[in-house]
Structure 1
């Protein structure tokens, strides 16, 4: 388990509650799953899916050789997330019937199961993990198959995201 400082715990409560400072968050109690970018030790980005009904944390990694190390590092997070959500009475507060039902099935906090998806497009260099994480989250939230992400189009994806960011239109 990860020992969280009061400041970090407060930030997590804001994030989960949809009251994060930038105003673009949605309360987790209104959804079945959330997608997050996750950085591994300051050097590698992956997409994370937290599925509240299945009670799973799924890793989508564009550099599969790093996944085994990542899975080891995420195990404490799966337990800590479960404890924080349990203490927040997340499942009781959920507005999603299937999520509330899952909470009733669990007698106490239950760590999330950790999964990794191997069949995702892989980066061809040491610098595309961030943009591929963004593309994975875009595709997953839109229900578009990840196989349509083309690792050969990194320059296009970077330029598109930069233009959207400058216009204030960036999705993620």
Structure 2
């Protein structure tokens, strides 16, 4: 976001919702984040509609002569759910770990700054081995 902050966004097609996992709420106020999310909430439904893969989706209502495509809603997960970073510059690692933890059904409470060096080291080793031993 604004070439200075990474977040993870989860798209829920059933609830028509974009959920933002942000490890540092101090970067953007709710109003500023709303401004940054607005193009995504408008563009994504149109892209989904244009792809043709969601023709039967109830949110993509066909009303002749045009198709109405409602914007996605969005929300930022609270700091109770997403631990906050105390140091700037860790947001990219946290975004990757949030994705790993969500996919692995691991509580986000483990994604804390005390573990950031371990996360960085593990990512470095994972990337190295993936490229050396594909």
TM-score range, shorter chain: 0.7 to 0.9
CA contact (8 A) 2:8 2:98 kept: yes
The equivalent residue for 1:104 is 58
The equivalent residue for 1:58 is 19
Higher percent of residues as helix:
1
The equivalent residue for 1:78 is 41
1:147 counterpart = 2:101: no
Task: Evaluate the alpha carbon distance shift between residue 90 and residue 66 of structure 1 in structure 2; reply closer, same or farther with a 3 A threshold.
Answer: farther
Deviates further, 148-157 or 44-53: 148-157
The equivalent residue for 1:115 is 75
- The normalised TM-score by structure 2 is 0.83
Which structure has the larger Rg?
2
Measure the CA separation in 2 of the matches of 1:121 and 1:156. Answer: 16
Residue 106 of structure 1, CA deviation: 3.8
Where structure 1 has 5 or more consecutive residues not aligned to the other structure, the ranges are: 1-39, 93-99
RMSD: 1.5
Where structure 2 has 5 or more consecutive residues not aligned to the other structure, the ranges are: 62-67
Relative contact order, higher structure (CA 8 A, sep 6+)? 2
**Cα displacement string for residues 107-134 of structure 1 (whole angstroms, at most 9, x for unaligned residues):** 1311111111013111110111010111
